Structure 1
Amino acid sequence: MLDLPLLPTPPPVPDAVPLSARLALRERPAGAPLLRQQWSELLFLHWPVPAELLQAHLPPRLQADTLQGQAWIGIVPFEMSKVRTRYTPPVRGTHEFLELNVRTYVHLDGVPGVWFFSLDATSALAVWVARTFFHLPYLRADMRLDQPSPELRQFAATRTHGGAPPATFRATWKLGAPMPPSEPGSLEFFLTERYCLYASNKDQSKLYHGRVAHAPWPLRAAQVLHLESDLLEGHGLPTPTGKPVVHAGGPVQVELWPMQRV
């Protein structure tokens, strides 16, 4: 029997952002928020993607956020309700609607956040407000969320925004048991505990940063029974391979602060 030398164990790949910086963003920002709303019936669908591939689709100053060297891309349908500003009561046409976003995770100078490739919504007024005042790539779409049973959800979306790439999404999922709170440093924490967002103007010459505050996500296990989507391909992103990492979430009460140029 040959006595082969033991190969050294490769060192772990460091995360893009230290855990302390992620935890710091859980602290509620000072001052009054601009918007308050509720997010519910979320389905988090995530696929791993090479960070270098993702980087080519980001504004120059943003860097892909990674966990143990791995970047992720996600599709998240959900219901938004109780939307109001700090100055006004809920406005009909904007206070309750469905949303579907395509997102990834980034950081700027070590501050982690969410980058949205697109955000489809059923409210034309909400789309106009978000595009005008938050610099976010909102698009109009027809959507429907059904609940055939207490544990089943069905979500369907067809983009209707003029000039935007066509896109459709269909998903059926079954809710499972509640999950324990996400452990800091875990994949669940990395994918769902996000407390700021980034946006840019059309030519990506200006970059904006906004803060978000809410309680840690109450997550549930979920099983996807049916999934059809061409959302990622419409952004020139690779077609996902393999099954997604799936979580269900909500409801949470959310506060949002004004976007600031960075």
Structure 2
Amino acid sequence: MTEGFQQKNISVPEGIWIMRQTWNDVLFAHWPVDVSILRAMIPPVLELDTYNGQAWISMLPFMLTNLRARYLPAIPGARTFPELNLRTYVTYKGKPGIYFFSLDADHRLAVLGARTFFHLPYFYADMKADKNGDGIDYVSKRRDGGEAAFCAAYRPVSAPFTAEQDSLDYWLTERYRLYTTYRSKLFYEDIHHHPWLLQHAEAEISVNTVADAHGITLPGSDPLLHFAKKQDVLFWPLRQWH
């Protein structure tokens, strides 16, 4: 499965991957955010990553398919569901990665499993992702009684391309490790996939209160947008940093 996944400067993680997923019709919506705001919201052990001194926060709505753990049967009803991520960019000991403020998913068992076994801030939400020509109509409303909701119509508007390695596009999308904390301990998980085949995108975001629910105010400027049709992803075990 990892054959052909090798890419320049991105090595396949050591050991055996334990899970695979496919991400479909992914929107990357990125906003520049003041460094001091995000620094106060990530664990002190992590360093906030910046591009030319600028911190960023991103939202990723997509449809998750083909969820399967290695050597195990598929989780009943959990092979396909929408997901919505809110994340920023961090480093630890020089290794860049992602830090999630939240991950919303429309599958109760998947949310419970991710919270229990991967210590990630998953939330159960009512979600829909409908095809509309070459675009997606996407709706999410968290089920915890709060106001974390997202509603957008988005579509690609360019030919596919791969990001240049030193570009902002590459810095925002080509990330191969996530960090999380649990009981004051740092954990990380490596992933691997082909380079993102990106497209420029347009989006009408009519509701976006997910960041607000986590005490983050997004700027009023339009986000930087990317679209990706499909990405197959492999996951390695969650490990504690010693």
Same fold (TM over 0.5): yes
The Cα of 1:240 is off from its aligned counterpart by 2.2
Q: Of residues 93, 101, 107 in structure 1, which corresponds to 2:85?
A: 101
Secondary structure of 2:109's counterpart equals: helix
1:224 and 2:181 are equivalent in the alignment: no
1:64 and 2:34 are equivalent in the alignment: no
Identity of aligned residues (%): 40
CA displacement 1:78-109 (0-9 Å, x = unmatched): 01110111111322222211100110000011
Q: Where in structure 1 do 4 or more consecutive aligned residues deviate above 3 Å?
A: none
1:170 and 2:148 are equivalent in the alignment: no
The unaligned stretches of length 5 or more in structure 2 are: 1-6
The Cα of 1:72 is off from its aligned counterpart by 0.2
The Cα of 1:179 is off from its aligned counterpart by 3.3
The Cα of 1:168 is off from its aligned counterpart by 0.8
8 A Cα contact 1:174 1:225, kept in partner: no
Comparing 248-257 and 170-179, the one that deviates more: 170-179
Determine the C-alpha separation between the residues in 2 that align with 1:208 and 1:183. Answer: 30
Q: Of residues 179, 192, 202 in structure 1, which corresponds to 2:160?
A: 179
CA displacement 1:104-157 (0-9 Å, x = unmatched): 0000111110000000000111001100010000000000011121x2211000
The Cα of 1:27 is off from its aligned counterpart by 1.1
8 A Cα contact 1:103 1:116, kept in partner: yes
8 A Cα contact 1:178 1:218, kept in partner: no
Q: Of residues 155, 161, 178 in structure 1, which corresponds to 2:144?
A: 161
Determine the C-alpha separation between the residues in 2 that align with 1:95 and 1:153. Answer: 20
1:247 and 2:231 are equivalent in the alignment: no
Which residue number corresponds to residue 15 of structure 1?
Answer: none
CA displacement 1:222-241 (0-9 Å, x = unmatched): 11134320111111112322
Give the number of the structure whose residues are more often strand, by fraction: 2
TM-score, normalised via structure 1 length: 0.86
The unaligned stretches of length 5 or more in structure 1 are: 1-22
The Cα of 1:178 is off from its aligned counterpart by 2.4
The Cα of 1:260 is off from its aligned counterpart by 0.7
TM-score, normalised via structure 2 length: 0.93
Q: Which amino acid aligns with 1:174?
A: R
Secondary structure of 1:41's counterpart equals: strand
Secondary structure of 2:99's counterpart equals: strand
Which residue number corresponds to residue 196 of structure 1?
Answer: 177
The Cα of 1:24 is off from its aligned counterpart by 7.6
Determine the C-alpha separation between the residues in 2 that align with 1:177 and 1:242. Answer: 22
8 A Cα contact 1:214 1:252, kept in partner: yes
CA spacing shift, 1:241–1:124, aligned 2, 3 Å: same
Which residue number corresponds to residue 121 of structure 1?
Answer: 105
Determine the C-alpha separation between the residues in 2 that align with 1:227 and 1:76. Answer: 15
8 A Cα contact 2:155 2:227, kept in partner: no
Determine the C-alpha separation between the residues in 1 that align with 2:10 and 2:62. Answer: 22
Q: Which amino acid aligns with 1:94?
A: A
Q: Which amino acid aligns with 2:177?
A: C
Q: Which amino acid aligns with 1:206?
A: K
Secondary structure of 1:178's counterpart equals: coil
Q: Which amino acid aligns with 1:182?
A: A
Determine the C-alpha separation between the residues in 2 that align with 1:227 and 1:194. Answer: 28
Report which of the two structures shows the higher radius of gyration computed on alpha carbons.
1
Determine the C-alpha separation between the residues in 2 that align with 1:210 and 1:136. Answer: 11
